[in-house]
């Protein structure tokens, strides 16, 4: 990406940006030097305040455009103008169309990740992920605009709709947390709030959270098979859960879990599921974010994390994402702020070993002629994806649905292009 003078201020605010996870997985990185020294995404990538202000404006626009009534290319009705509202001010550009028959070039592979310019990713997407009913499709202008938003754009273009994050799963080791809080103490110079936030972060195990999401998606996919209406799907789903004595069976009928399929736009689309569950499949993506988002909470929680924030239900693994406001961590010292979230697309890979799975994400929005520079797309193994910066203390694994006729979730994903 475009680098800045080291003399410029390095800072970030609530932004649509995607991290290039460079530290060990959070699930076993409790004492990682990279994590402990609190390196932020901005510090690692040389971003300025102007950079992140522009990205933040794109974040606000993407959230609005992600609503079904406001697809890309339209102005949201009754939108209130904002001085940071213009995508053109950010320098964001829609990637150019790529010929359907053009093959992608090799990615640059290093340290568990492969990266490539957004145009080359579009060529790979058209060759591998674009298929509808077995036929390759050229990425449309609307899809290229979705993709241009960066990490959330990668998930958006593959899931078919802006990610809603309602059905999230995670794993929190309550015993580990309680034992560490009871028997541990703050480090030198560390406040009590900082200590408890750090212990809470270390008590989340992303690999186990990912496994729970995969198990749930597998149960849902078995229930979808042969179910020609939603009633049949729900009946089979409850039978599958009962057979496994799964705590999700006790969810209320109107819960996000049981309502997930009917709330998926492509399920109702005549070119998608057309209200036929057997035409749909459950897939996975992930989001990294900060826990201290409640504006009513203490400043310490917004700075150092909310130990009780976004913990999963111990029985079901479900995370209540309703309070996720896409708010970044507050500054811990003057002139400092942080990236607000990161999205990674997984799809429906069948690889059983977590660290051999591939997660597709990106660095930032596409700005080839602006200060940010062109967008890069990353494909990272799980350890790289699940790693974190000081910007994040939570990782949730989301289950959503796409039509089976879409090939955006192939069984086997090969990193890069060889």
Cite the active site residues: 151, 342, 361
Sequence-distant (≥ 6) Cβ neighbours of residue 317 within 8 angstroms = 169, 170, 171, 209, 212, 213, 216
Q: Which residues pair with 309 in a beta bridge?
A: none
Distance (Å) of CA 89 to CA 76, 81, 95, 182: 18, 13, 17, 51
Spatial distance between the Cα atoms of 18 and 41, rounded to a whole number of angstroms: 9
Spatial distance between the Cα atoms of 75 and 342, rounded to a whole number of angstroms: 25
Identify the H or E element spanning 142.
Answer: helix 141-147
Q: How many CA atoms lie within 13 A of 15 on its CB side?
A: 27
Q: Which residues pair with 116 in a beta bridge?
A: 377
Read off the tokens for 339: 């990236």
Three-point CA angle 153, 158, 161, nearest 5°: 75
Spatial distance between the Cα atoms of 41 and 12, rounded to a whole number of angstroms: 8
DSSP 100-111: TTPPPPPPEEET
145-169: buried (b, 16+ CB within 10 Å) or exposed (e) per residue? bbbbbbbbbbbbbbbbbbbbbbbbb
Q: Which residues pair with 358 in a beta bridge?
A: 381
Spatial distance between the Cα atoms of 328 and 340, rounded to a whole number of angstroms: 4
For residues 285 and 316, is the Cβ–Cβ distance under 8 A?
A: no
């Amino acid at each position: 990406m475009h680098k800045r003078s080291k003399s410029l201020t390095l800072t970030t605010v609530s932004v649509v940006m995607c991290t290039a996870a460079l530290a060990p997985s959070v699930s076993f990185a409790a004492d990682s030097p990279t994590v402990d020294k609190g390196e932020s995404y901005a510090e690692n990538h040389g971003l300025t305040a102007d950079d992140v202000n522009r990205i933040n404006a794109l974040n606000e626009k993407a959230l609005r455009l992600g609503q079904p009534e406001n697809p890309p290319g339209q102005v949201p009705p009754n939108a209130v103008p904002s001085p940071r509202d213009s995508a053109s001010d950010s320098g964001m550009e829609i990637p150019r169309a790529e010929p359907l028959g053009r093959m992608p070039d090799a990615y640059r592979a290093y340290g568990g990740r492969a990266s490539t310019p957004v145009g080359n990713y579009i060529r790979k997407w058209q060759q591998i992920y674009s298929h509808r009913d077995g036929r390759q499709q050229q990425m449309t202008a609307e899809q290229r605009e979705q993709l241009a938003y960066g990490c959330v754009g990668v998930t958006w273009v593959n899931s078919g709709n802006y990610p809603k994050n309602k059905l999230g799963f995670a794993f929190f080791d309550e015993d580990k947390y309680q034992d560490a809080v009871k028997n541990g103490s703050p480090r030198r110079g560390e406040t009590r709030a900082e200590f408890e936030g750090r212990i809470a972060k270390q008590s989340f195990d992303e690999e186990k959270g990912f496994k729970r999401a995969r198990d749930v998606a597998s149960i849902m996919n078995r229930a979808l098979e042969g179910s020609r209406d939603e009633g049949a799907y729900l009946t089979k789903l409850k039978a599958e859960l009962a057979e496994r004595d799964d705590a999700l069976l006790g969810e209320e009928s109107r819960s996000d879990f049981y309502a997930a399929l009917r709330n998926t736009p492509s399920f109702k689309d005549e070119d998608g599921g057309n209200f036929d569950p057997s035409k749909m499949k459950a897939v996975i993506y992930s989001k990294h974010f900060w826990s201290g988002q409640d504006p009513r909470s203490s400043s310490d929680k917004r700075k150092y994390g909310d130990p009780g924030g976004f913990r999963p239900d111990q029985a079901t693994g479900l995370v209540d994402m309703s309070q996720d406001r896409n708010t970044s961590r507050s500054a811990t010292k003057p002139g400092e702020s942080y990236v607000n979230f990161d999205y990674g697309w997984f799809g429906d890979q069948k690889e059983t070993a977590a660290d051999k799975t591939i997660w597709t994400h990106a660095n930032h929005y596409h700005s080839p002629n602006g200060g940010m520079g062109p967008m890069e797309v990353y494909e990272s193994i799980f350890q790289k994806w699940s790693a974190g910066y000081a910007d994040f203390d939570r990782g949730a694994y989301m289950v959503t649905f796409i039509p089976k006729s879409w090939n955006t979730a192939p069984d086997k994903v090969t990193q890069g292009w060889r």
